[in-house]
Structure 1
Amino acid sequence: MTVPPSPLYYVAVSPGELNKEIEAGKFRPVYYFYGSEDFRIKEARRAVASKFLPKSQQSTNHTVLSASKDKLEDILNELSMIPMLGERQLFSITDIQALSEVQIKKILSLIDDKDPNRVVILTSPSARTPRKTTKLFKYLAQQTTAIEFARLKGDSVRRRINKMLTDNKITIDKEALDMIVELAGGDLGGMLSEVGKLIDYVGEGGNISRAEVASVSSDYQAYKVFELADCAASGKYDKAMEVINFLLSRGEKLSSVLYWMGEHFVGLYLTQNRKSSGPGKRDMSWKYKGQLGRFDNDQLEGIIREISEADFDLKTSRINSERLTIEKLIFKICSGHQKKANV
Structure 2
Amino acid sequence: MSQAASRSLQAIVKNREFDPAYYIHGEDEYQKEAAVRQIADAAIDPAGRAFNLEVRRASELDAESLDVLLSTMPMFSERRVVVLQDPSVLKKQTRSVLDRYLDAPAPGTSLIMVAAGGKSDRALMERSVELRFDPLPPARVIKFISHHARETHNASITPAAAELLHSVVGSDLHELATEIDKLASYASGGEIDEAIVGDVIGVRHGETLGDFMDALVDRDAARALGMLSRLLAQPKTTGVSIVMVLANQTLAMAWGRAKLDRGMSVTSLEREYIGLLQSAGWLMLPKSFGAAAKVWARATEDWSAESLDRSIHALVAADVALKDTRFASDEQILAGLVLSICASGSSRLAA
TM-score (normalizing by structure 1): 0.70
Q: Are the equivalent residues in 2 in contact too, given 1:152–1:186 (CA < 8 A)?
A: yes
Contact conserved, 2:209 with 2:231, CA < 8 A, in 1?
A: no
1:287 aligns with 2:284: yes
Candidates 244, 268, 286, aligned match of 2:228: 244
Cα distance change of structure 1 residues 218 and 82 upon mapping to structure 2, 3 Å threshold: farther
Distance 1:265 1:30, change over 3 A: same
5 Å-filtered alignment, 1:1-343, equals 14-99=5-90, 103-111=94-102, 116-127=107-118, 129-130=119-120, 137-166=121-150, 170-209=155-194, 211-217=195-201, 224-244=208-228, 246-247=230-231, 252=233, 260-266=238-244, 268-269=246-247, 286-288=283-285, 290=292, 296-303=308-315, 305=317, 308=321, 330-336=338-344, 338-339=345-346, 342-343=349-350
* Residues 306 and 147 of structure 1, relative CA distance in 2, 3 Å threshold: closer
Q: Structure 2 CA distance, aligned partners of 1:125 and 1:177?
A: 30
Contact 1:157 1:186 in 2 (8 A): yes
Equivalenced residue count is 297
In structure 1, what residue type is equivalent to 2:53?
H
After superposition, what is the alpha-carbon deviation per residue over 1:48-94, rounded to whole angstroms, capped at 9, x for unaligned?
11111110111211111211222232111221233444442211111
Structure 2: where are the runs of 5+ without partners?
A: 253-280
Larger % of helix: which?
2
Q: Helix, strand or coil: the match of 1:199?
A: helix
Unaligned ranges ≥5, structure 1: 1-12, 131-136, 275-283, 316-321
CA distance in 2, matches of 1:331, 1:206: 40
Which residue identity does 2:341 align to in structure 1? I
For 2:6 and 2:72, how far apart are their aligned partners in 1?
Answer: 30
For residues 107 and 170 of structure 1, do their structure 2 counterparts lie closer, same or farther at Cα, with a shift above 3 Å needed?
closer
Identity %: 18
Post-superposition CA distance 1:78-125 (Å, at most 9, x none): 212334444422111111111367744521423576854211111112
Distance 1:195 1:160 in 2: 11
Could you tell which deviates more after superposition, 164-173 or 192-201?
164-173
Distance 1:14 1:299 in 2: 39
Relative to structure 1, the CA distance from residue 235 to residue 190 in structure 2 (aligned partners, 3 Å threshold; closer, same or farther) is same
Amino acid at match of 1:156: R
